Amino acid sequence: MISIITAVHNGLPMNRIFWQSLRKYTFHPFELIIIDNKSTDGSREFFKSVGAVVIENELNYSYPVCQNQGIAKAKYDTFVFINNDIIVSPDWDKRMLDAADAAGLDVITPVGIEMLEDAVSSKAIKRRWLKVKNPLAVFGFSTFNLKLMHRLMYGNWERFANKRFEKFGLAVKEGFVGNTVMMRREALAKIGLWDERIQGADFDLYIRSKKRNIEHNDIKPVHMALGVFIHHYIRLTSKSTRAPFADKDNIISNEDKWSLETMREYCRDIESGL
């Protein structure tokens, strides 16, 4: 069983699509923990109606704060920290867990538009997504439009995802795609909770896992499951349409926490452009 932890602030059309894909394509039994940051469009009520555990914040908090709230509520020992603007693929959770088991990993992500197996493939799929998304984005982000973007991007989604798994199987590569992070509970004892000062939390998590690996060798750095592709819509709304973070004065950048030299050293084994 897995605990899926997701923070939301409005975006009801996307939240419905997100739930539909989880329900259709998740293999293992799961609890869905929603951290609702004062949604005003019915998102909070929607997730309650489908049986999710809803943490009701009365302000909009940053990503790491919300993920730690979810951890405190989670019943199971496998966490999945996942964005709401995604569509998962068939058996995504089983395939990621199988890849993690095969490689001896405590933290794993899928691949996606942000990063694939090499730089050439990553650039190609990013270009394709921009060609699909940008012309349609002017019409807004209704359920119809979001589904149309997805269909034009991939055609038959199940066939696309399954062909990728047939090609890569349980293969992994060091790196991360931060929209979906699967972590075992025991990893928390080694690398800790999410750093609530860092909004770029996936990057910080990777560096901490890499640092722990170098210094203690009791955990491997975050890797990607090359056979598991999850679609991410990426920045559906501008920052101007989102309520400011209640904890904004506490947030620092990765550069404030880690020196450039440290970041270069720890990230030299993964693709650039993170």
**Could you read off the pLDDT of 107-117 as tens digits, one per residue?**
999 999 999 99
Domain ranges of the chain: 2-267
* pLDDT, average across residues 64-80: 97
**Could you read off the pLDDT of 166-202 as tens digits, one per residue?**
999 999 999 999 999 999 999 999 999 999 999 989 9
Instruction: Return all residues near 154 (Cβ < 8 A) that are at least 6 apart.
Output: 160, 231
Q: Which range among 17-31, 171-185, 253-267 shows the weakest confidence by mean pLDDT?
A: 253-267
Instruction: Return all residues near 260 (Cβ < 8 A) that are at least 6 apart.
Output: none
Exposure string over 183-194, b if 16+ CB within 10 A, otherwise e: bbeebeebbeeb
Determine the pLDDT at residue 238: 47
Our measurement of the distance from residue 147's CA atom to the centroid of its chain's CA atoms, rounded to an integer in Å, reads 19
Determine the pLDDT at residue 265: 84
End-to-end CA distance of the chain: 31
- Count other Cβ atoms within 10 Å, centred on residue 105: 23
Asked whether the beta carbons of 22 and 28 are under 8 A apart, the reply is no
% residues pLDDT > 70 (the chain): 96
Decide: pTM greater than 0.85. yes
Determine the pLDDT at residue 44: 97
Q: Per-residue confidence at 61, pLDDT binned at 50, 70, 90?
A: very high
DSSP character string of 43-86: HHHHHHHTT-EEEEESS---HHHHHHHHHHH--SSEEEEE-SSE
Determine the pLDDT at residue 91: 98
Determine the pLDDT at residue 239: 47
Q: Can you identify the CATH homologous superfamily of domain 2-267?
A: Spore Coat Polysaccharide Biosynthesis Protein SpsA; Chain A (3.90.550.10)
* pLDDT, average across residues 64-76: 97
Point out which residues pair with 223 in neighbouring strands: 108, 174
Nearest Cα residue to 223 out of 106, 125, 128, 144: 106
